[in-house]
Structure 1
Amino acid sequence: MITYKLSFTPSYHDGVIKDLIDGIPESDFDVQLEGQVEIIGWLYQYYNEEPKDLAFKKKSYKKEDIPAVTQLFTPDWVVRYMVENSIGRYWIRGLLKKGDPRSEKEIAQSFGWEYYLPESADNQELLVSSSTPEQFATPEDITVIDPAMGSGHILVYAYDVLQQIYESEGFSKKDSAELILQKNLFGLDIDNRAFQLSYFAIMMKARQDNRKVLSQGIRPNVFDVPNISDSVDFADLLIKKADVVDTNGIKNSLRQLLSVFSHGDSLGSIIEINPAIDFKELQKLTKSNLLINEDGFDAIEAGKMQQTLRNMLPVAKILSSRFTIAITNPPYMQASKMPKDLKAYVISNYVDSKSDLFAVFIERLAKFVGSNGLYAMITQHQWMFLSSFERLRNKINKQSIINMAHLGTKAFEEIGGEVVQTTAFVMQNTQMSDYVGAFVRLVDYDSQKKKQVAYLNAVNSTESKNVYRTNQSIFKKIPEHRISYWLSNNLIKSFDVLPPLGTYFGGGNGITTGNNAHYLRYWFELNNLDTKWVPYNKGGKYRKWYGNILDYLYWGDEGRELISDSHSVMRNSDYYFKIGLTWSKISSGKIAIRQLNSGSLFDVAGMSLFDKTDSKTLSKAMGFLNSNTALAIIEGMSQTLNFESGTIKSLPFDPKKVPDQVDILVDSNIFISKHDWDSFETSADFSVHPFVMHIDEHNRNWNIIPILNHCNVPNLSQKIFLEVNYG
């Protein structure tokens, strides 16, 4: 991708126009190769780049920030995956149900749908008997919506697939172009510029196939969601002139619509419309001749109301409709970052998915397609694993995951690092208890291109190691119904036959001081490690068995100041100062369990568990949690950067089945790790560096001690630490 920091200019000799011509390969403009939609998408992303950078610095977003911070151009191959496996799948199912003798793969190949993932052989009989609606008839029956359409990438490829379907049924390109615009494609966005780009992209696509779409005034069903500030005060004249029967009912419907659309540019497609609203009656109010003989102030205001209705009603109809298929790359936004009006609406209407806007859209798309419909998305993958999305998973497990391309990190070239982890999937909004979904695991590939190649290999190979055929019912056996499709049958069975580790262990989150600068010190910052300061576990870097003991917490007068501080939170106080197990909550690597010494406290970053039975269980649990077996289960349940205590407590564990020899091995590992920790200046118990302890006696008494004696530091270990680290 080429990034432009220039302004648009009418000159063809310098500026962005010249750079577009010189800097981008000619093939990228080739409409036959989808160059048009690619260029439009990158230009839209360029337009949003500066406001996005500014918005990301804010603690919470304003509604005008939403388009910039939530816009991300979808990789072309992911768009093709979603469209072919939703629209294409719907059509192929219909053909098979009508008796087409070809296989799924043969039909997909005849259309050139290379990203289509065929069903498992176990599903064939089930699908033919139940999954395709009986009303399936012609291409005109397929309605497709992208409720967060951006620059129109998904809709443009959906147009291509629909055009292929129409042609296969004998329609001309000219006729099908008109039908697709009028009957098949629908799109919404909160950003007016995105709407304009989508409108342009779709119209130019149709213009290739039908030169008259512009002159005939054919309009695609794409809209920006309006933001309305009107009231119903001047609707009486319209209602009277339109000769509406149920005056009170129409005014009430109008009042409801104006209320939700008063936040249209924040809420967008997640707005839900009361199904009782009578759009036919409301449409009467928009007739152009209603006010033809009226004048005066009321007539002017009623005319404004008419224009409001003309902008609002088409969008409201779409929001109240049900579609055959919904496809989108939704906006991503944590609840803590949402503008107030958006957050309030989400909390009231999407309680099961309120943690993030992408999850809200998962719920919304299921409502867009209704019973038995298909919807396809690319989202962050947290909904598959985090405790905060358990209720959403319960809803999803009443649907059917048709297939998934689990992408992990680096699925988008524009996003670096390990933070944004994504998954693309296709769902059917009905539960098929015997259905076997196909899950393509691509998380280990470190670039967008490698993931694409690996996916195509999985499609074309019957023995790909990346494909897992999994019955969704197994997720109910995994704690919190996590979507851990790659776990082996033996690991899943262990959840049935063994109790959870939480049977024997309590604890989890610890203290939040609310003011670390005041209450915390490194041990080497203290004059004396007396009883006013106690070891405090804050997690730290990857380290097993023992270590990361650097922080001390002020606990004078038994912590009275901290406990009474209104900004602090004291959790799991029953376990304070007890020996336990601890680990770092946030890590981009693997979990590492360490011993938490007695006499210590712990906070939320240094998760800690404590034995509720006896100390032998502690050693056995530490041995288990640091084993490869536990690691495999943990990775299967938490593919995020967070290792929550709830996840660890839910692991299958029975101390009676762990050999006593494990206690000896664990004690040995703790001893070795402690010795290693204390061999370096970072330990408060450091005495001598391993390099120094093996030199001759007369050289060991080197001159560092007299040199440092003049320093105002209290003990030798601290002097050496300061000398080594600060010169």
Structure 2
Amino acid sequence: MNKTAIKNYAIEARRKLMDGVRTKLTTLSIYEDGHATTQEAVEKLRAQGVFLSEGEVRARERLCEKLTGLSKELGDKKAFVQVIEAVAYTWFNRFVALRYMEVNDYLPSGYRILSSVEVGRAEPDAVRNAQYLDFVSQTKVEQFRDDTSPGAAERFYRYLLVAQCNALHDILPAMFQRIEDDTELLLPDNLYQKGGVVHDLVSAIHEDDFKDQVQIIGWLYQYYNTEPKADVFGRPKTAKIQKEDIPAATQLFTPDWIVRYMVENSLGRIAVEKLGLDPVVMGWKYYLPEAEQTPDVMAQLKVLANDDVFQLEELKIIDPCMGSGHILVYAFDVLMQIYESQGYTNRDAVRSILQKNLYGLDIDPRAHQLAYFAVMMRGRKYDNRFFRRNLMPHLYIGAESNGIRRSHLAFMGQSMNPMERNMALVQVESLLDAFQDGKEYGSLVSVEDYRWDLIGAFIDDFHQEGQFSMEAVGLEDTVAGLQALYFLGQALAQKYDVVVTNPPYMSMSNGSPKLIDFAKKHYPDSKSDLFAVFMEKCLQMAKPNGYSAMITMHSWMFLSSYEKLRGKMMNYDIINMAHLGARAFEEIGGEVVQTTSWVMQKHHTEGYQGSYVRLVDFNSQDGKEAGFLSGACVYSTQQENFGKIPGSPIAYWVKVKDGIFSDTLSSRFASGGRNKTHNDERYVRYHWEVRNSNPFWKVYLNGGSYRKYYGNNIEVVLWTEESKSEYQSHGGKLKDSAIQQEGVFWNKITSNLPGFCFKQKNWIFSSNAPTIISEDSNANLMTLAFLNSKVLSYYLKAMNPTVTTNPGNILSMPLLPVTTTVDTLVQQNIAISRADWDDFETSWDFKRNPLI
């Protein structure tokens, strides 16, 4: 698959479609700051030789009404851009879907609508064979063929394209909704001419990339969002990510092998346990066999496996952050394998999967549309007559209740028993409250303990006939909105055998105030990041003994801010984990995004041995996959061992000697605090920029390069009463006692391990040079030696394998006994390191170049 070509096309197609839609709007006298009247627009176009039909005039009027309504909510400019975005992505999705269907010969007509089966022919086959198409008017076809006026060929193609989309509504209604007149009105020109969006799609991306590769849909969706994502992250750091930004900011296509790992070790594991299937025979090469267990654990697992009667058609799996449906598509494939192993026909298997097994949800309507299409194409792959069966998958869009008029509830449930109606009304009111911000919270909305039977009866029982008051206007829209919430709510309320997803990664510091407050209230132990919140939510959605499989940032395994979350996770069995580290996604370089994928069962087995594959040292997506398949780098351990280390990090590769953490550095050392000027440009200088005789400039440790024992003391900070008062006003001034004592400092942020150096008395330090201090100078020396040892690196990587090392990480290290021999060696190391440091001109004590 040529991802470069796919990326280039998606980015350029978005630009061209948006420019084309904008041009259409301008042609219709609809502008960013308002629009002309219908009469003015029609007369202007008529003067240019363009004549709008009655239908097009009505479509323009509806479009203007839509913009007016949006402008009241968003303002003129945002409303204008939103309409452009919506029409552009609608056509983009349709073009991608049409291309996939024609390449795989799924179009019912049998004729390609975007291209030709003849190599080198630009004209689509549908144009040449229009007389054979049953979804067009042959009278109109003849009229177009007889039309020799300029632009006739383009108008003919637009007619065929719209007709094809409308015809596909009957079999794929969620992808090809009946095209509203205004959407058709804004369809850009010159689509299949050279440089047009359709022409580029056909010529830029090789046809083989569309053949039975539904994942291309996901890549196109991700790359289409490239510029919107860059726009979100290009804003000032203080800018919050709003609900409309979340899809672009957080969407990340999951590598195929990780999808397979998660599905095979959750859904596949159920099939192995309950049906006795052999993962090797099934071809599940990412399935990890159970680690060796004790007889006692094996007995517990045997009871667990046989605790209920398994019924395949009752199994439920959901991806609550489904994106473009990549995980759901592979889950579909695995389910088909399982059904086939049990003797089902393809037809019956596909029907059961869509009606009973598979569920998904996303807050982005664009993603929902593509996920729906991808799943439906899987159905068509396995069942040639699938399109005739009128099946709809359980895929839902995050919805909210703000547009529902509560006054309409008075017209509903009138035929119900009065007591039941009152109960139902209370339930419906509560449901509306729960989904007030549903488009922002998505799957996180909690809707358990509802009487869905009463709510369904209430919604279905509405009476509009005979209601002529203005209060009843729009009642059918309210009912439709309530029905959407009803089905979505039921999907969120029920429990699942498997919950598998790649959740959004977003620090809550970037979230909107509503989202931050929501997380604090409902998920206080995981509120730091959206991925952690979803860890809790996914386990809530799982049945007892069910599975949760996810790929997340690996920070939850180690950081102190997630210690309570780890405590919750330890109530369940980590079946296995692929610890990925950095560069698991080929689209993301660097060390910042470090991930782990894991499968957890909602059950705790005392003494259970989980399997952990350590892939952090492989530097590419392909390298990590190869490392996983090699069968090397596999560790097994009991979760109880994690509790032997302070903070209970998921340090599966560490063997901890009992009692080694019984006494830690925190018993003898303390954090020195920090100094923060909040304006280094004004208050910090290199030491050579100020006079040595000026007593108000003090040595300032402020981070730096990797050094051991001595160094990184090249800056000075202004230390006057006025400047100290300024630092204090921002909560950033050190205590004098911390300045006056010796200690140990290090560079806070590093891509590897920090180097630890000796802090002399009266040296000031910033938050970039965290420092621990002790009144015992011997302890300082002994600890400095330990912190620069391989023993420290072993434990520190286990407890905090991130780019940031804080005092809390160091103070939790074991305290070793002080010995005079080590003190002497450390003093020698400091002297050697200092001599090396002084050989550079940047040192305070530089005398001359050692090479002279």
Bin the TM-score by the shorter chain: 0.7 to 0.9
Instruction: Say which of 111, 127, 144 aligns to 2:282.
Output: 111
Aligned residue pair count: 665
SS in 2 for 1:277: coil
Aligned to 1:78: 258
Instruction: Say which of 826, 831, 849 aligns to 1:671.
Output: 831
* Larger CA deviation: 47-56 vs 573-582: 573-582
> CA, structure 1 residues 213+312, in 2 after alignment: closer, same or farther (shift >3 Å)?
farther
> CA, structure 1 residues 254+509, in 2 after alignment: closer, same or farther (shift >3 Å)?
farther
1:276 is aligned to 2:436: no
1:49 is aligned to 2:226: yes
Percent of aligned pairs with the same amino acid? 38
Deviation (angstroms), 1:242:
4.5
Instruction: Say which of 210, 224, 231 aligns to 2:397.
Output: 224
* Larger CA deviation: 536-545 vs 253-262: 253-262
Q: TM-score, normalised by structure 2?
A: 0.75
Aligned to 1:99: none
> CA, structure 1 residues 558+47, in 2 after alignment: closer, same or farther (shift >3 Å)?
closer
- 8 Å contact 1:514–1:568 — kept in the other structure? no
Aligned to 1:581: 744
Paired AA for residue 539 in structure 1: G
Deviation (angstroms), 1:525:
2.0
SS in 2 for 1:51: helix
Paired AA for residue 646 in structure 2: P
Query: How far, CA to CA, are the matches of 2:556 and 2:208 in structure 1?
Result: 38
Query: How far, CA to CA, are the matches of 1:477 and 1:615 in structure 2?
Result: 30
Deviation (angstroms), 1:14:
3.5
Q: Deviations over 1:267-295 (max 9, x none)?
A: 1111111x332111111233276334433
Where do residues 436-515 of structure 1 align in structure 2 (5 Å cutoff)? Answer: 436-458=609-631, 464=632, 466-488=633-655, 491-493=656-658, 495-496=660-661, 498-515=662-679
Query: How far, CA to CA, are the matches of 1:332 and 1:18 in structure 2?
Result: 36
Q: TM-score, normalised by structure 1?
A: 0.88
SS in 1 for 2:419: coil
Deviation (angstroms), 1:419:
1.1
SS in 2 for 1:376: strand
Gaps in structure 2 of 5+ consecutive residues: 18-189
SS in 1 for 2:399: coil
Paired AA for residue 800 in structure 2: S
* Larger CA deviation: 70-79 vs 304-313: 304-313
Paired AA for residue 11 in structure 1: Y
1:652 is aligned to 2:814: yes
Paired AA for residue 191 in structure 1: D
> CA, structure 1 residues 212+55, in 2 after alignment: closer, same or farther (shift >3 Å)?
same
Query: How far, CA to CA, are the matches of 1:334 and 1:271 in structure 2?
Result: 19
- 8 Å contact 1:242–1:290 — kept in the other structure? no
Aligned to 1:326: 499
Aligned to 2:413: 239
> CA, structure 1 residues 289+585, in 2 after alignment: closer, same or farther (shift >3 Å)?
same
Paired AA for residue 645 in structure 2: I
SS in 2 for 1:427: strand
Instruction: Say which of 545, 551, 559 aligns to 2:715.
Output: 551
Instruction: Say which of 65, 68, 74 aligns to 2:245.
Output: 65
> CA, structure 1 residues 621+306, in 2 after alignment: closer, same or farther (shift >3 Å)?
same
Where do residues 80-229 of structure 1 align in structure 2 (5 Å cutoff)? Answer: 80-96=260-276, 107-122=278-293, 125-126=298-299, 128-132=301-305, 134-229=307-402
Q: Deviations over 1:612-669 (max 9, x none)?
A: 4x2111111001110111111111111111112111111112224xx32111111111
- 8 Å contact 1:591–1:631 — kept in the other structure? no
Deviation (angstroms), 1:371:
2.1
Query: How far, CA to CA, are the matches of 2:205 and 2:833 in structure 1?
Result: 56
> CA, structure 1 residues 550+136, in 2 after alignment: closer, same or farther (shift >3 Å)?
farther
> CA, structure 1 residues 495+142, in 2 after alignment: closer, same or farther (shift >3 Å)?
farther
Query: How far, CA to CA, are the matches of 1:14 and 1:363 in structure 2?
Result: 48
1:592 is aligned to 2:592: no
> CA, structure 1 residues 51+508, in 2 after alignment: closer, same or farther (shift >3 Å)?
farther
Instruction: Say which of 12, 27, 47 aligns to 1:6.
Output: 12
Q: Deviations over 1:349-383 (max 9, x none)?
A: 00000111011110010001032210100111000
Gaps in structure 1 of 5+ consecutive residues: 97-103, 459-463, 693-727
Paired AA for residue 523 in structure 1: H
Deviation (angstroms), 1:234:
2.4
Deviation (angstroms), 1:417:
1.0
Where do residues 374-453 of structure 1 align in structure 2 (5 Å cutoff)? Answer: 374-453=547-626
Deviation (angstroms), 1:446:
0.9
> CA, structure 1 residues 684+485, in 2 after alignment: closer, same or farther (shift >3 Å)?
same
Instruction: Say which of 426, 433, 436 aligns to 1:252.
Output: 426
Deviation (angstroms), 1:304:
2.8
- 8 Å contact 1:143–1:185 — kept in the other structure? yes
Paired AA for residue 642 in structure 1: T
- 8 Å contact 1:231–1:258 — kept in the other structure? no
Deviation (angstroms), 1:129:
2.4
Q: Deviations over 1:100-136 (max 9, x none)?
A: xxxx7xx001111111000012167246423336334
Paired AA for residue 258 in structure 1: L
Query: How far, CA to CA, are the matches of 2:645 and 2:698 in structure 1?
Result: 39
SS in 2 for 1:444: coil
Deviation (angstroms), 1:561:
2.2
Aligned to 1:536: 700
Query: How far, CA to CA, are the matches of 1:492 and 1:587 in structure 2?
Result: 28
SS in 2 for 1:186: strand
Deviation (angstroms), 1:427:
0.4
Query: How far, CA to CA, are the matches of 2:834 and 2:344 in structure 1?
Result: 77
Paired AA for residue 289 in structure 2: P
SS in 1 for 2:785: helix
Aligned to 2:64: none
Deviation (angstroms), 1:300:
2.2
Query: How far, CA to CA, are the matches of 1:52 and 1:452 in structure 2?
Result: 27
Query: How far, CA to CA, are the matches of 1:61 and 1:646 in structure 2?
Result: 30
> CA, structure 1 residues 127+165, in 2 after alignment: closer, same or farther (shift >3 Å)?
farther
Query: How far, CA to CA, are the matches of 2:748 and 2:456 in structure 1?
Result: 56
- Superposed CA RMSD: 2.0
- 8 Å contact 1:178–1:210 — kept in the other structure? no
- 8 Å contact 2:191–2:199 — kept in the other structure? no
> CA, structure 1 residues 242+203, in 2 after alignment: closer, same or farther (shift >3 Å)?
farther
Aligned to 1:704: none
Paired AA for residue 210 in structure 2: F
Instruction: Say which of 681, 684, 696 aligns to 1:520.
Output: 684
Query: How far, CA to CA, are the matches of 1:260 and 1:400 in structure 2?
Result: 32
- 8 Å contact 1:182–1:219 — kept in the other structure? yes
- 8 Å contact 1:146–1:154 — kept in the other structure? yes
